[in-house]
Structure 1
Amino acid sequence: MAALYRANPSDGVAWITGASTGIGRAVARDLASQGYTVAVTSRDEERLATLANDAIGLPGRIIPFPCDVTDGAGMRKLVAAIEKEAGAIALAIFNAGIYHPTRGERLDALNIINTFDINLFGVIHGLAPVTDRMRLRGRGQVVLVGSASCYFGWPSAAAYGASKAALNNFAEALKHDFDKMNIRLQVINPGFIDTPLTARNHFAMPALMPVEHAARRMVKALHSGGFETSFPWRFTWSMKLLAMLPFALRYRIIHHLTGWKKRPLAAPRKLRD
């Protein structure tokens, strides 16, 4: 059986969503330094423009393509625009994501829906049109950025963790078909990375990894990783071991490690008619 395709700069464009900040921005620069033409997408046109300027002088180049990943029609048009202006998309990295703290005593339906709109459906809006094109070419590489929170439920991460768990299950199911189309499908599940997203957390984040280190690990996975890559491995493998425990035992351990039992409930909201 022939090995699944892996992209390289001579094959076409690398496209990254959620590229204006954090790990997406760092990966875009790393790929441009390797000679890729990198199409970068987010809603923040100004940050994308500065990212493109930062890449001047590198072997490759970065081209901004602003779009909102929750806009299905817009994403389909965007894929066509990237391929018309920059070339065929050989590598697609779906990195856009958002985190809203989700606590049981203060459930906010709109924040939960927004989390799934970006973290799951935002991937689907871009994946569907780019996969159609990759299939016609007979090759492609797709990377979905998940999270180590996908392995089991963490306090305050009900929406975020559930969206990333759905993304992992989604990828596992699609891999059966993607393999037959010679489209390499990968999932990357990082632990805590020092980005603007995690800066919103008000709790200890074990094994917090600098964004530049995380980007290098992700780029290494593009070149040699299998279906799933997780890092930092000491943290993520601890999470995988915890996931194997009976729920009652794991629940007690997480309750203790996070100090959640001592956290007071927020004051109840006033009821609305």
Structure 2
Amino acid sequence: MSTPLRIWLTGASSGIGLELARQLAAAGHQLALSARRAEPLQQLAEQYPGQLLVLPADLTDAASLQRAAHDIGAHWGALDWLILNAGCCEYVEVDEFDPALFRRVMDTNLHGNVECIAAALPLLRQGNQPRLAAVGSSVTFCPLPRAEAYGASKAALRYLLQSLELDLAQWGIGVSLISPGFVDTPMTAVNDFPMPMRIDGQSAARRIIRGLERGQREIRFPWLFTLFLRLLGNLPNGLRFALTRGLARPASNKESS
């Protein structure tokens, strides 16, 4: 990419977010990095003096997101890409069905991203070929056991972005939904069930960046795994139920940063 972009990336302290930050910074882009933990962001910023803004923020704290957006506006005046990468995952135990778990997951994966979009939209409207992107999940292609909260939050995010694409077109803002399979990150490291076709964070980041540069509406990877889930999800309900009932057991609760 010939012209450096002004990019706000959330969840940049670990996993896919940290790999995205490294690769985008190495490509010469200007980055505003947000996460709850500032130390990993500061360490990366020291490698690229004057190129990276460290803006600690929590998706569940709307005021911190507004402050971050204000600082971005003060430094750059506009935003070219917003990449919503931060998220969390907790698995549901139906014998201890906990509404609070659902609220926690929804507060981060849906409501927090809505707050971030609201803070960033005025800046995106001033950007150069602006693009809004968010990391969803391939779990939205097919319901899986114990993923009630996580899957519902990512399904809501899918609908949100696909609907926003229609309304943001009037301002020339493109929208990309990122639908990964299993990626080797701290969030998936606690899983104690098989994760087929898992890829590393560096490969995931490369595929995301390539898809964003191409302006893809949906960035799916790895393609064979996501294709399998899409086909599985489109089977007759009885057959889908029989094939998926025993998947992803057992597992441990987990949450990202």
Letter aligned with residue 17 of structure 1: T
Cα distance in 2 between the residues matched to 1:126 and 1:9 = 28
Contact 1:20 1:51 in 2 (8 A): no
1:49 pairs with one of 42, 46, 49 = 42
Taking the TM superposition and a 5 Å limit, the aligned residue runs for 1:89-104 are 89-104=79-94
Letter aligned with residue 130 of structure 1: A
1:195 pairs with one of 185, 194, 199 = 185
Contact 2:80 2:127 in 1 (8 A): no
Secondary structure in 2 aligned to 1:88? coil
Question: Over residues 34-65 of structure 1, what are the superposed CA-to-partner deviations in whole Å (9 max), with x where a residue is unaligned?
Answer: 11011100010112112223x338xx832210
1:85 pairs with one of 59, 72, 75 = 75
Taking the TM superposition and a 5 Å limit, the aligned residue runs for 1:125-140 are 125-136=115-126, 139-140=129-130
Cα distance in 1 between the residues matched to 2:123 and 2:208 = 24
- Higher RCO (Cα < 8 Å, 6 or more apart): 2
Instruction: Give 1:19's aligned residue.
Output: 12
Q: Which runs of 5+ in 2 are unaligned?
A: 251-257
My pick for the range that moved more, 101-110 or 245-254, is: 101-110
Instruction: Give 1:110's aligned residue.
Output: 100
Using a 3 Å threshold, how does the CA distance of structure 1 residues 239 and 166 change in structure 2: closer, same or farther? same
Q: Which runs of 5+ in 1 are unaligned?
A: 1-7, 264-273
My pick for the range that moved more, 82-91 or 144-153, is: 82-91
Cα distance in 1 between the residues matched to 2:104 and 2:216 = 30
1:162 pairs with one of 148, 152, 157 = 152
Letter aligned with residue 59 of structure 2: V
How far 1:140 sits from its partner (Å)?
A: 1.4
How far 1:133 sits from its partner (Å)?
A: 2.7
Cα distance in 1 between the residues matched to 2:59 and 2:149 = 18
Between Structure 1 and Structure 2, whose CA radius of gyration is higher? 1
Q: Give runs of ≥4 in structure 1 deviating > 6 Å.
A: none
TM-score (norm 2): 0.91
Cα distance in 1 between the residues matched to 2:98 and 2:189 = 21
Secondary structure in 1 aligned to 2:186? coil
Question: Over residues 143-192 of structure 1, what are the superposed CA-to-partner deviations in whole Å (9 max), with x where a residue is unaligned?
Answer: 01100011122112111111001100111111111112100110000000
TM-score (norm 1): 0.86
Instruction: Give 1:247's aligned residue.
Output: 237
- Confirm whether residue 73 of structure 1 aligns to residue 66 of structure 2: no
How far 1:86 sits from its partner (Å)?
A: 4.5
Identity percentage of aligned residues: 35
Using a 3 Å threshold, how does the CA distance of structure 1 residues 12 and 230 change in structure 2: closer, same or farther? closer
Cα distance in 1 between the residues matched to 2:220 and 2:127 = 30
How far 1:118 sits from its partner (Å)?
A: 0.6
Number of equivalences: 250
Instruction: Give 1:269's aligned residue.
Output: none
Q: CA RMSD in A?
A: 1.9
